[in-house]
Structure 1
Amino acid sequence: MGPLVSTEWLAGSLGAPDLVVLDATYYLPTEGKNGRAEFAAAHIPGARYFDINEVADPDTDLPHMVPSAGRFAKLVGAMGVSNASRIVFYDQIGTTRAPRGWWMFKLFGHEQVAVLDGGLPKWRADGHPVEAGEPAAPTPASFVPDLRAERLAGIGDVKRVVRQGGGGALILDARARGRFDGTAPEPRPGLPSGHMPGAANLPATELMGPDGAFLPPDALRERFAAAGVDGTRPVITSCGTGVTATVLALGLERAGFPEAAVYDGSWTEWASRPETPKVP
């Protein structure tokens, strides 16, 4: 599987014994919806709900940070996911939240994972069925993680890049332009908007077409190039809380660029630390 699968591919693959379909929808506090409730109302047949606030580190105040390898293995094993599983993530919005689940499995060494291009809206628009209610409990499985640490960036890594003043990696921020340049508020109360010195901005939504699916690779390459990606300089993606940063990571892979690292704490961590420089 590549990083993306079509609705036609998924419709033809449903029911395969090794296929696990996971809804990883997460709504911002300002969006006024609950991903689990929306999943219960309508989801792809046979899908299970992947709660990024549960498959997370419980010992930090930062939202939905990457859990330990052991916690991840325990939780996804309880969902019926094994190392032999083929996994397809989708979300109820389009393709802006599901990449978080895709990236987490990639981080823990699982390569047979993809995102449904266009998500549930395109699935329904293409005439495929949905079902309601809670799915049957899956048969537990064993998942053995294999951490790929180069896919994860911490605040220390980002501080080092900022200190280098542009000579190291490119920090690429997926937030809306107003949040990035400080003219629009952050969705979390008390958190200032702005960005890290030297960072570039490419809103995750600009990687999508009108149907919510990813743009073709050549169009993605143009957008990434305009943001400063040249294929030789390492890229660290960031956003508000490490969700849409993974959209950029998936887009880079689709466009044929080297893998990016994702700054998991993202702007929420950076902006809340008194010692970190901010622009403006």
Structure 2
Amino acid sequence: MSQNIDVIVNAEWLKAHFSAPNVKTVDASWFMPGSQRNGAQEWKTKRIPGAVYFDFDGEIKDQTSSLPHMLPSTDVFAENVSKLGISNSDTVVVYDSAGIFSSPRVWWMFKVMGHQNVVLLDGGLPAWESVGGDIDNTPPVQPQVTEYTACFQPERYIDRDALLAGITTNSLNVIDVRPFDRFSGGVAEPREGVRSGHMPNAVNLPFPSVMQEGFFKSSQELSQLLATVVSDALPNVTSCGSGVTACTVALASEHTIGKVIAVYDGSWTEWGGDHRLPIEVL
């Protein structure tokens, strides 16, 4: 298989390559708190055959952080991915049951941990079903443990202190992908104790704008959208509510214009919750 495949594949591609021994499917389904849905439970009863479940909200995260689903250490990531039966040489195909929602987060996690071939299934599980892909509803089988090595890629990640320094010196371009009413400070944040507004000088590109009916928009449409917010002069950073949908725009950028964008892991939950940090409202 090519060592240079795009970051997005369609369901027809997966169907054609599905039986290859080095293609591993990963269910990354996750739902917002209060949605009454559970990604792990749904995976157990409905999944692409052979798909393992990647629990970035409960297991594969920094267990010491009070913030939701923060990136784990390389050792914790490697240990958990080994248990999922994934090797460094595998092509990992990440999907979710919503189409595109939480799967870009897991794509980014693999990327920031140095995985070479990781792609997102455009349209997710609904797209797989639409092309007649098989569905497994039998009890999952524990995969054979591998030896996986993670290698952190710092250009894909930014923390609060580095972001504050970049904002203070006007040396970063921050793209906030939350809905405009949250970006502007016009509505209260869903998480208690988190202020409304955005980071100084941030620009807004709501993440749903890069998608249409559960798929990414065309490369031409994405290029036009990204041109309005992505800087050629400064390093770019995406931020969202808790570090999930920021990865969607980072993925769209890499797919469309080949530009790597760092993700602010703590996102607005961390920034808006820290009253020492500067914010703006419109």
Q: What's the TM-score once normalised by structure 1's chain length?
A: 0.94
| Residues 167-220 of structure 1 deviation map (CA, whole Å, 9 limit, x = unaligned) | 32210011112221122333323323321111111111110122x111122211
Report the counterpart of residue 36 of structure 1 in structure 2: 40
Q: Within 2, Cα distance between the matches of 1:153 and 1:138?
A: 33
Contact 2:238 2:264 in 1 (8 A): yes
Q: 2:219 aligns with which of 203, 217, 220?
A: 217
Question: In the alignment, which residue of structure 2 is the partner of 1:279?
Answer: 280
Change (3 A) 1:120 1:184: farther
CA distance in 2, matches of 1:229, 1:182: 22
Q: Report matched runs for 1:114-193 at 5 Å.
A: 114-164=119-169, 167-193=170-196
Correspondence for 1:102: 107
Equivalent position amino acid for 2:259 in 1: P
Distance 2:196 2:71 in 1: 23
User: Retained in 1: the 8 A contact 2:193–2:273?
Assistant: no
Q: CA RMSD for the aligned pairs?
A: 1.4
* Partner SS, residue 93 of structure 1: coil
1:145 Cα shift?
Answer: 1.1
Residue aligning to 1:256: 257
Q: 2:49 aligns with which of 40, 45, 53?
A: 45
Cα deviation for residue 147 of structure 1 reads: 1.1
- Structure 1 pair 190–274 and aligned structure 2 pair: CA distance change class (3 A): closer
Unaligned runs of 5+ in 2: none
Residue 10 (structure 2) aligned to one of 6, 12, 28: 6
Three-state SS of the structure 2 residue aligned to 1:52 is: coil
How far has the Cα of 1:257 moved from its partner?
4.1
* Mapped partners of 2:195, 2:129: distance in 1: 38
2:84 is equivalent to residue 79 of structure 1: yes
1:147 and 1:87 map into 2 onto residues whose CA distance is 17
Q: Distance in 1 between matches of 2:188 and 2:29?
A: 23
Amino acid at match of 1:129: D
Structure 1: runs of 5 or more not aligned = none
User: Please, which moves more after superposition, 233-242 or 188-197?
Assistant: 188-197
1:34-76 superposed Cα distances (whole Å, 9 cap, x missing partner): 1111212311111111001211111110111111111111000
Q: 2:165 aligns to what SS in structure 1? A: helix
Q: Cα deviations across residues 235-254 of structure 1 (Å, max 9, x unaligned)?
A: 10110111111101100011
Q: What amino acid is aligned across from residue 176 of structure 2 in structure 1?
A: D
Letter in 2 for 1:92: S
Structure 1 177/133 Cα, relative in aligned 2: closer, same or farther at 3 Å?
Answer: farther
